[in-house]
Amino acid sequence: MSTLLVSQPNFADHLTPQGHPERAERIVAIEEALAKQRFDKLLRRDAISGDLNLAELVHDSRYLARLRHARPAEGIGQLDADTFISAKSLDVAATGLGGALNALDAVLLGEVDNAFCAIRPPGHHAEIATPMGFCLINTVAIVAREAQRKYGAERIAIIDFDVHHGNGTQDIFKADPSVFYASSHQMPLFPGTGRPSETGVGNIVNVALDENSDGAAMRDAYLTRIFPALHDFSPDLILLSAGFDAHERDPLAQLNWSSADYGWLTGKLMDVADRACGNRIVSLLEGGYDLKGLAGGVSHHLAMLMDGAIGRLDD
Ligand code: ZN
């Protein structure tokens, strides 16, 4: 296995208010965890800015103009109750997108088997016409479309293990049988979508997990619901909306996944990728708001992506 880690040099330029859970320290915590010797084998690359106009592949044609208009000259502007935009937020989003597209290139050109992008802000709540839930552009959705447009990939699977339902990704692909979207999420919880009855055109699998449920419930849900459907879909590429807020330490939700659960889930997804699509996985950071839980979950995720095994980890 070879794994690319894409970092985002300007991650701290997207400002959120004091006390907001989606903060620059999240990326610092990930970078510290992945600076350990255990991760020396990672191929590391800094993201360069991507073409923000690619957002029109998934968003409304007036979407970017509205975001630019909402952007303050200084300070922090508010888009909804918990979604904020600062002067350089769109530059940060463009760099996150550029990094994700670089990861896509590296995986689809066979330079590496898989890739993880430590980027912010997250994207999976951003709908066709509406930014929400800390998200400005739906990066994973843009990457899916670009994989189809640039590389001719026909069948893209997006697996979203963030604790919140990716309403934006579902909104974008709900009528498109070429993109499979599966989400596991706590329910009830923000944003309120993601009932198992929401199945799109047969391309969407939503698994609702009960408050206070643990990694065993997650494993059962993936083994019985998501993996069989993913296998049947037979993707050319697997994209991950990798949120780590189902971690037992996370303050925004009440699931009890351990760091090791993220390693297990990653390994099982790699098994599918091995059988279906030549190991090709591109993983993009979404949520995860407890710094220790985030670092622990990401460490297990990356150790597994790198080696197919966890090996020695501190937590
Ligand atoms: Zn989340």
Percent of the chain with pLDDT over 70: 99
Would you say residue 315 lies in a domain? no
Residue 74 has pLDDT above 70, yes or no: yes
Distance (angstroms) between ligand 1 centre and the Cα of 111 equals 30
CA 137 from chain centre, in angstroms, equals 12
- Calpha distance 202→224 (Å, rounded): 17
Query: What is the number of H-type helices and E-type strands within the chain?
Result: 9, 10
| Residues 225-250 pLDDT 10s | 999 999 999 999 999 999 999 999 99
| Structural domain contains residue 48 | yes
Quote the ligand 1 centre to 206 CA distance (angstroms).
Answer: 15
19 within domain boundaries: yes
In a domain, 313, yes or no: no
Per-residue pLDDT at 315: 57
Cis ω on the peptide bond leading into residue 251 (within 30° of 0)?
no
Q: How many angstroms is it from 144 CA to the middle of ligand 1?
A: 20
What CATH number did the domain enclosing 240 receive? Answer: 3.40.800.20
pLDDT at 313 over 90: no
Full residue range of the structural domain in which residue 289 is found: 3-307
Q: Where would I find the H helices in the chain?
A: 25-34, 63-70, 89-108, 139-151, 167-173, 215-221, 227-233, 259-277, 291-307
Domain membership of residue 312 (yes or no) is: no
| 186 domain-assigned | yes
Give me ligand 1 centre to Cα 288, in Å: 6
> Which whole number is the average pLDDT over 18-44?
98
Please write the tens of the pLDDT for every residue from 260-288: 999 999 999 999 999 999 999 999 999 99
pLDDT of 314 reads 67
pLDDT tier at 40, thresholds 50, 70, 90: very high
pLDDT mean over 53-70 = 97
Mean pLDDT of 288-304: 98
Residue 312: pLDDT band with limits 50, 70, 90: confident
Average pLDDT along the chain: 97
What is the distance in A from the centroid of ligand 1 to the CA of 110?
30
State residue 1's pLDDT score.
Answer: 81
Beta bridge partners of residue 208, listed in sequence order: 185
Number of compact structural domains in the chain: 1
Half-sphere exposure of 144 (CA within 13 A, CB side): 28
**What are the φ/ψ torsions at residue 76 (nearest 5 degrees)?**
-125, 125
Q: Give the Å distance between the CA of 133 and the centre of ligand 1.
A: 8
> For residue 8, what pLDDT is reported?
98
Q: List, by residue number, the catalytic residues.
A: 125
pLDDT for residue 163 is more than 70? yes
